[in-house]
Amino acid sequence: MKIGLFLGSFNPIHMGHLIIANTMAYTTDLEEVWLIPAPPSPFRNRKTTLPKSARIEMINMSISDNPRLKVFDFISSSPTVFTMLKPSYIVDNLNKLSDKFPEHEFKLIIGEDALVKFKKWNVFNKVLEKYEIYVSPKNNTPDSNFKKHPKVKFIEVPLILDISGTYIRNAIKNRHPINYLVPSVVEEYISRNEFFI
| pLDDT tens, position by position, 115-147 | 888 766 667 888 899 999 999 998 888 888 888
Q: Is position 172 within any domain? A: no
User: Reading across the β-sheet that carries 69-71, which strands appear in turn?
Assistant: 69-71, 32-37, 2-8, 105-111, 132-136, 152-154
Question: In the chain, pLDDT over 90 holds for what percent of residues?
Answer: 63
Judge whether 20 lies within some domain. yes
Report yes or no on 179 lying in a domain.
Answer: no
Determine the residue type at 123: V
Residue numbers of the domain that contains 143: 2-160
Give the predicted TM-score (pTM) of the model.
Answer: 0.89
Q: How many domains does the chain have?
A: 1
Query: Is 196 inside a domain boundary?
Result: no
pLDDT of residue 90: 77
In a domain, 182, yes or no: no
For the chain, give the percent of residues with pLDDT over 70.
86
Using DSSP's 3-state secondary structure scheme, residue 140 falls into coil
Q: For position 115, which CATH number holds?
A: 3.40.50.620
According to DSSP, residue 28 is labeled: S
* Cβ atoms 146, 119 nearer than 8 A: yes
48, part of any domain:
yes
pLDDT digits (tens, 9 = 90+) for 39-83: 765 545 556 899 999 999 999 999 999 999 999 987 554 433 444
Q: Does the structure show a pLDDT above 50 at 171?
A: yes
Cis peptide before 12 (omega within 30 of 0): yes
pLDDT at 100: 92
Q: Residue 79's pLDDT is what? A: 38
- pLDDT at position 121 is 63
